[in-house]
Amino acid sequence: MTKIIDIQDKKAGTKLSKYLQGQFSEHLGTGIYGGIWVGKDSEIENVRGIRKDVVDALKEIKVPVLRWPGGWFSDIYHWKDGIGENRRPLFNTSWGGSLESNEFGTNEYFDLCEQIGAESYLNVNMSSGTIHEMTDWLEYITAPVGPMAELRAKNGHEKPWKLRFVGVGNEEWGEDGQMTPEFYSDLYRLWQCFVRQYDADQKPLFKVGCGPNIDDFNWTNVVMEKASQFMDGLSLHHYGLTDLWDKKGYATGFEPKEWDSLLYSIRKMDYFIHEHGLRMAHWDPDHRVKLIVDEWGDWLHNDPGTNPAHLRQQNTIRDAVMAATTLNIFAKHADLVGMANIAQTVNVLQSMILTDGKHMILTPTYYVFDMYKYHQDADLIEAYSDNGDPINYTISEKDGNYIVSVCNTDKEQSNNVTIKFAGKVNKPSYSKVLHADEIDACNTFDDPEHVKLAEYQDYQIKDNSLEAALKDKSIVTMIIPK
C-alpha cells in the first residue's frame, strides 16, 4: 500500500500546544517513591531527594506540564500532611492500602517541576477536602505575603511558586464522589469562586472542571450548560483496553488479536473527542473552554508477581504505536484539545521510565515523546487518523522546517507514504525511526536498549515530494528544511 498525502495547498493553522505532551504522576505504587523520590540520604544519585537520572531523562523530552497528586489519590490527599519536618502518614485507601509517608509533598513537587522544566497542574481535593483547605493551599503556593507565605518560608521556600493549572475535583462521578452532573455543576460554581489569584504578576490560573466518565455525553452537556462560563477547561479520561474492563490483557506475551483490540480501543479517543466536542460547542461555539485529556494511555494487567493495585506494567513497541496514534489524534483536534497528560510518568501504567533500585530504563513510549517533542508549539498543517487506515500522522511547521511524524499501526505489513509539499524540500536535518520485530518487544533491565531510536534512511526526496517506506509497527519523525 502507498498512501498519498498532498499538502501542497494547505497552510499552517492551529498551533499544536506543547501541553498536548503533558505527564501525570500519582501517589500510586512506585510511581513517586522509588520512581521519582528516593530521599536525600539515598545512595542513588539525587538532587534534594529527587532521582537525577529520572530528571535528566524527563528534561530530554521537554515535559511541558506535570499533573499531581492524582488522580484518585487526590480525593484523599490533605496537603498540610505533606509539608514541614513532621509529616503525618496516610493510609492510601485509593491504591492498595499501603502507607503513604507524605515525604513527597508540595515543596518536593514544585522542586521536581523546576528541575525538569515543567509547568504545574494541581488537582485539588473536592471529595473529602474543604474550600478552606483549598484556599490555604493556593495561598501557600502562590501568595507573596500572608500567613501561608510565612509558613512556606518557614519550610524553606521564601518566594511563591508559579502555578498555572488547577483541577477542581477528579472523576467526581466515580467512587469518591458519586455526584450527578447537576450537583457537580453547582458545587464547581461555588468552589471555583475561591480559586483566587494571590500574585498579580503571575498568569491567571487556568481552571479545569471535572469532565465525563468516558462516553457520558449527558455529563458534558449538563456541566457545560450550567458551569462552562466559570471554567477554562473540561477534563476527559480514556484508557486503552484490550477487551472488557475485567479482561485486560497482559503487556507482553499477548496474542496478535490483542494488538488489534487495543488499537481499536485507543482509536476511540478520536470518537470521544469529536462527540464531547459537539456538546461543548453547543454551549461554547468558539471553543474557549478546552478539552483537557488529563488521563490517557494503555491500561493492561500488572506485571506478574507485582501488587495488582500498583499498576506496574511492561511497555512494548505496541504501547509506542498506541502513543503515537493518540498524539496524532490530539493533533487532529488541536483546536479543541488544550492539554493531555499520559498516565503515568514512572513505573505506573504506560510509563516513560521504569526503575528498579538504582537501575533505570527508558520505555518505547519514552522514545515516541522524544520524537514528538519537535511538534511542541509548532503550527499544524495536517493531522490524520482513521479507524480503517493503518497510517496516521502529524505534519507541522516550525522555524522554517516541516516536521513529519508518521505511524504505521500494522503489526505485520510494511506500508509506503508519499508526501507532496508546496515547494522543493531539502534533506532532513533529523530522521529517526522506532521499530521492533516482535510485537511485544520491550526494554528490560538485562537488555535496556532492545527497543530504541535508530537513524531512518529508507526514504527519497524528489523536488517537492518525500517518498518513505515504513516497516510494520513503526513510527518515523523527520525534520525537513524548506
Q: 290-298 and 233-240: which strand pairing? A: parallel
Whether the Cβ atoms of residue 319 and residue 260 lie closer than 8 Å to each other: no
Q: Which residues of 41-66 are buried (b: 16+ CB within 10 A; e: fewer)?
A: eeebebeebbbeebbebbeebbbbbb
Indicate the SS3 state at residue 397.
strand
Taking the CA atoms of the chain, what radius of gyration do you get in angstroms?
A: 22
Check 119, 139, 258, 295 and give the catalytic one.
Answer: 295
Whether the Cβ atoms of residue 137 and residue 149 lie closer than 8 Å to each other: no
Q: Is 295 annotated as catalytic?
A: yes
Q: Is 158 annotated as catalytic?
A: no
Backbone dihedral region for residue 297 (phi beyond 0: left; psi -120 to 50: alpha; all else: beta): left
**What long-range pairs does 71-74 form, CB within 8 A, spacing at least 24?**
71/24, 71/26, 71/27, 71/28, 71/123, 71/170, 71/295, 71/343, 72/26, 72/170, 72/171, 72/174, 72/175, 72/176, 73/26, 73/27, 73/28, 74/26, 74/123, 74/124, 74/125, 74/167, 74/170
* 293, β-bridge pairs: 340
Whether the Cβ atoms of residue 248 and residue 242 lie closer than 8 Å to each other: yes
Indicate the SS3 state at residue 40.
coil
Q: 430-435 and 415-420: which strand pairing? A: unpaired
Whether the Cβ atoms of residue 420 and residue 7 lie closer than 8 Å to each other: yes
User: Rounded distance, CA 72 to CA 177, Å?
Assistant: 10
Identify the residue whose cell numbers are 515535559. 63
* 243: its cell numbers: 477487551
Residue 158, exposed/middle/buried by CB under 10 A (0-12, 13-18, 19+)? Answer: exposed
The residues near 211 (Cβ < 8 Å, ≥ 6 apart) are 219, 220, 223, 234, 235, 236, 237, 276, 291, 292
Check 108, 171, 172, 258 and give the catalytic one.
Answer: 171
User: Rounded distance, CA 417 to CA 477, Å?
Assistant: 13
Q: Which residues of 442-458 are buried (b: 16+ CB within 10 A; e: fewer)?
A: bbeeeeeebbebeebee
Q: How many CB atoms lie within 10 A of CB 400?
A: 7
User: Rounded distance, CA 210 to CA 213, Å?
Assistant: 9
Which residues does the annotation mark as catalytic?
Answer: 171, 295
